[in-house]
Structure 1
Amino acid sequence: MTLLFWVLKTVAVTLGETAGDLLGITLRLGYLATGLVFLAFFVVTVVAQVRSGRFRPALFWAVVLGTSMVGTEISDLLNRGFGHGSAPAGIGYAWGAALLTGVLGVVFLVWWRTGRTYDVENITDRPGEILYWIAILVSNTLGTSTGDWLSDDTGLGFRNAFLVIAGTMALIVAAHYLTNIPGTLLFWLAFVLTRPLGAAGGDSLTKPVAEGGLGWGTAWGSAALCALLIALIAHQTRHVRRHPLPPLPAPGTA
Structure 2
Amino acid sequence: MTYGLSGTPGAEPGTRAPAHPSHRLRWNKVPEVTAYFWVIKVLCTTVGETAADLLDEKAGLGLTGVSVLMSALLAVVLAVQFRTTAYRAGVYWPAVALISVVGTLISDNLTDHLGVPLETTTVVFAVLLVVVFVVWYRRERTLSIHSVDTTSREAYYWLAVLVTFALGTAGGDLVSERLDLGYWPAAALFALAIAAVATAHFAWGLDAVWSFWIAYVLTRPLGASIGDYLSQPTGDGGLGLGTVVTSVLFLAVILALVVHLAVTRKDVAEPHA
Out of 50, 62, 76, the position equivalent to 1:44 is 76
Tell me if structure 1 keeps the 8 A contact 2:261–2:267: no
For residue 103 of structure 2, what is the aligned residue in structure 1? 71
Tell me if structure 2 keeps the 8 A contact 1:169–1:193: yes
Structure 2: segments with no counterpart, 5+ residues: 2-33
Please tell me whether residue 139 in structure 1 is matched to residue 178 in structure 2: no
Separation in 1, partners of 2:215, 2:268: 26
Report the alpha carbon displacement of residue 105 of structure 1 after superposing the two structures with TM. Answer: 1.2
For residue 29 of structure 1, what is the aligned residue in structure 2? 61
Tell me if structure 1 keeps the 8 A contact 2:49–2:227: yes
| Superposition TM-score, scaled by structure 1 size | 0.90
Separation in 2, partners of 1:28, 1:199: 23
Larger RCO (alpha carbons 8 Å, 6+ apart): 2
| Superposition TM-score, scaled by structure 2 size | 0.84
Q: Which amino acid aligns with 2:168?
A: G
Deviations 1:80-114 (A, max 9, x none): 11xxxxxxx51122221111111111111211221
Please tell me whether residue 12 in structure 1 is matched to residue 44 in structure 2: yes
Separation in 1, partners of 2:124, 2:267: 42
Separation in 2, partners of 1:148, 1:243: 32
Please tell me whether residue 180 in structure 1 is matched to residue 212 in structure 2: no
Report the alpha carbon displacement of residue 244 of structure 1 after superposing the two structures with TM. Answer: 5.7
Report the alpha carbon displacement of residue 176 of structure 1 after superposing the two structures with TM. Answer: 2.2
Tell me if structure 2 keeps the 8 A contact 1:124–1:248: no
Deviations 1:158-211 (A, max 9, x none): 111111000001111212211211100000001111111111111111111111
Q: Which amino acid aligns with 1:49?
A: Q
Deviations 1:58-79 (A, max 9, x none): 1000111111010111010011
Q: Which amino acid aligns with 2:272?
A: L
Q: Which amino acid aligns with 2:105?
A: E
Matches within 5 A, 1:225-244: 225-240=250-265
SS of alignment partner, residue 140 of structure 2: coil
Report the alpha carbon displacement of residue 248 of structure 1 after superposing the two structures with TM. Answer: 2.9
Out of 185, 202, 209, the position equivalent to 2:234 is 209
Size of the aligned set, in residue pairs, is: 241
Report the alpha carbon displacement of residue 152 of structure 1 after superposing the two structures with TM. Answer: 2.2
Out of 56, 59, 64, the position equivalent to 2:91 is 59
Structure 1: segments with no counterpart, 5+ residues: 82-88, 250-254
